[in-house]
Amino acid sequence: MAKLKPVPVEEIREANEEAGVILARLMTRMAPGEHVLRLAVCMEDQDPLYAALAVTVEGKGDSDDLVGADPVYRDNFRFLLTCGLAQRLSYGVMYMRSPAPEEVGAPYVVNAWELDHGALTSCEAARADELLGSGEDTAAFRDAFSLYGGEGDGGEAIYPRAAYTVL
SS3 content of the chain, % helix, strand, coil (to 5): 30, 30, 40
Which phi and psi angles does 121 have, rounded to 5°? -110, 130
pLDDT for 25-48, tens place per residue? Answer: 998 889 899 999 999 999 877 899
At 134 the pLDDT is 62
Contact 2, 148 (CB under 8 A): no
At 61 the pLDDT is 75
Higher per-residue confidence, 139 vs 2: 139
Q: What global pTM score does this model have?
A: 0.84
pLDDT for 70-117, tens place per residue? Answer: 999 999 999 999 999 999 888 999 999 999 888 877 889 999 999 998
* Rounded mean pLDDT, 124-145: 83
What's at 124, amino acid-wise?
E
Average pLDDT for the chain: 84
Domain ranges of the chain: 9-163
Q: Whole-angstrom Cα distance, residue 79 to residue 85?
A: 10
Contact 25, 120 (CB under 8 A): no
Q: Whole-angstrom Cα distance, residue 11 to residue 94?
A: 21
